[in-house]
Amino acid sequence: DQQVKQNSPSLSVQEGRISILNCDYTNSMFDYFLWYKKYPAEGPTFLISISSIKDKNEDGRFTVFLNKSAKHLSLHIVPSQPGDSAVYFCAASLFGDMRFGAGTRLTVKP
């Protein structure tokens, strides 16, 4: 049961431009949505989250948008930096049970 989907396996952007990573979900009961970043040979690292009662959360260069009617969330990174190159996972939580998407590999070119 693929409740969280990331349909773009990869994304390439130029340094300084905006990176937009997308995620769709099917279960309207999810209470929290999160983004994680993963470098090779490391576990995922928490990046930013948003409660289901909000539509936007911002933390520095990272902003997450939630569109509940479309069951869609996105992560915006502005400006993108080469160090942002990693695999980004979208996750959705239902009372602590966290489900992940398959990930999007972001490459930021200098």
Partner 1 sequence: DAGVTQSPTHLIKTRGQQVTLRCSPKSGHDTVSWYQQALGQGPQFIFQYYEEEERQRGNFPDRFSGHQFPNYSSELNVNALLLGDSALYLCASSPTTSIGYGYTFGSGTRLTVV
Peptide bond into 40 cis (omega under 30): no
Residues that bind partner 1 (CB under 8 A): 1, 4, 6, 31-32, 34, 36, 41-47, 49, 51, 89, 91, 93, 95-103
Distance CA 92, CA 40 (A): 22
Pairing relation of β-strands 62-67 and 10-14? Answer: unpaired
Nearer to partner 1, 101 or 108 (CB): 101
Nearer to partner 1, 62 or 79 (CB): 62
Distance CA 41, CA 66 (A): 30
Nearer to partner 1, 2 or 14 (CB): 2
- Tell the smallest beta-carbon distance from residue 61 to partner 1 (Å): 17
